[in-house]
């Protein structure tokens, strides 16, 4: 499951959600803007940056990292990106805070000693999803986070139905869409009808969440096939593939079986209508 995509959607839709994990959230927490930021002149991309509103009294920028697999270089990368961002934007902000969200404590880098001064400071918070408790006891936003961490099919369906019921009672359509998206990622082989039955939904047409998930899964599969067939793709071709619709991606998945060179891919893309 593409949890980085799920958390991007979560934070983009509800930027205030991060501050439910922070001990002392800023007064303007609900007005922060979430962005995925590329730091120029490097290969660094910061997954989650929460920017304070322009009129904030204290301009504290928050950095978030979600980790669902072991990465021994995580702290090296996270703090390097963080401080490089602050260097590039030194006059805009007067403080910073970092939040690292782990699936479990076991996924932390094995030797954090080199970063102990930062990790033990009040500027860095480490959160372990499997230690937050039952998702039914959490606010809806945190419940969504915990749903991404459920591995049991039975528990995932039970948790999803509970969140859907709560969201429907509160008329939170964005929550309903995100629950549906998470379940689609978890059970990517199921049809719309099967997902409807699983969640107890009655959908007259395929919801955007399901279509978006299908499109991303298809694009990811096509890119893997192209890489295996042709090697690394130039940025220009990658950009064109990113802009293809679901129907075009499915067509490309069939057409690539006959490709023998990069020129074949270029020719196929040139023949596609631009949206």
Which of 46-50, 67-71, 75-79 is predicted with the least confidence, judged by mean pLDDT?
46-50
Which of 4-8, 71-75, 146-150, 223-227 is predicted with the least confidence, judged by mean pLDDT?
4-8
Instruction: Give the pLDDT of residue 147.
Output: 92
Instruction: Give the pLDDT of residue 104.
Output: 94
Residue 16 pairs with which residues in a beta bridge? Answer: none
Cα separation of 6 and 8, whole Å? 5
Of residues 130 and 207, more confidence is placed in 130
Structural contact between residues 163 and 157, judged by C-beta atoms closer than 8 angstroms: no
Instruction: Give the pLDDT of residue 3.
Output: 61
Cα separation of 184 and 190, whole Å? 8
Kindly report the length of the chain. Answer: 275
Read off the pTM: 0.68
Instruction: Give the pLDDT of residue 96.
Output: 95
In 11-144, DSSP assigns E strands to 33-38, 45-51, 60-67, 95-102, 124-128
Cα separation of 146 and 140, whole Å? 10
What digits encode the pLDDT tens for the residues 214-233? 777 788 888 888 988 898 88
User: What residue segments make up the domains of the chain, in order of their start?
Assistant: 3-131, 208-270
What digits encode the pLDDT tens for the residues 116-133? 999 999 999 999 999 999
Cα separation of 201 and 84, whole Å? 46
For the record, the structure tokens of 118 come out as: 């930062």
What digits encode the pLDDT tens for the residues 156-205? 889 999 998 888 888 788 888 888 888 877 877 777 678 778 888 765 55
């Amino acid at each position: 499951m593409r949890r980085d995509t799920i958390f991007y959607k979560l934070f983009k839709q509800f930027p205030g959600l991060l501050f439910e994990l922070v001990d002392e959230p800023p007064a303007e927490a609900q007005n922060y803007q979430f962005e995925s930021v590329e730091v120029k002149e490097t290969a660094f991309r910061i997954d989650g940056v929460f920017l304070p509103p322009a009129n904030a009294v204290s301009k504290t920028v928050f950095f978030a990292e979600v980790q669902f697999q072991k990465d021994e270089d995580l702290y090296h990368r996270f703090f390097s990106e963080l401080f490089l961002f602050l260097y590039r934007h030194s006059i805009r902000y007067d403080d910073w805070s970092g939040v690292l969200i782990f699936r479990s404590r076991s996924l932390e880098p094995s030797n954090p000693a080199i970063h102990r001064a930062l990790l033990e400071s009040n500027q860095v918070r480490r959160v372990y999803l499997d230690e937050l408790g039952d998702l039914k006891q959490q606010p809806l936003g945190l419940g969504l986070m915990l749903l991404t961490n459920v591995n049991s099919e039975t528990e995932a369906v039970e948790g999803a139905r509970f969140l859907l019921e709560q969201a429907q009672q509160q008329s939170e359509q964005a929550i309903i869409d995100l629950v549906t998206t998470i379940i689609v990622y978890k059970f990517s082989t199921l049809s719309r009808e099967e997902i409807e039955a699983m969640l107890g939904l009655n959908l007259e047409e395929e919801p955007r969440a399901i279509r978006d998930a299908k499109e991303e899964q298809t694009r990811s599969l096509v890119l893997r096939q192209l890489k295996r067939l042709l090697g690394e793709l130039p940025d220009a071709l990658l950009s064109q593939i990113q802009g293809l619709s679901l129907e075009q991606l499915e067509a490309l998945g069939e057409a690539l079986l006959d490709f023998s060179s990069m020129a074949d891919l270029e020719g196929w893309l040139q023949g596609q209508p631009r949206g």
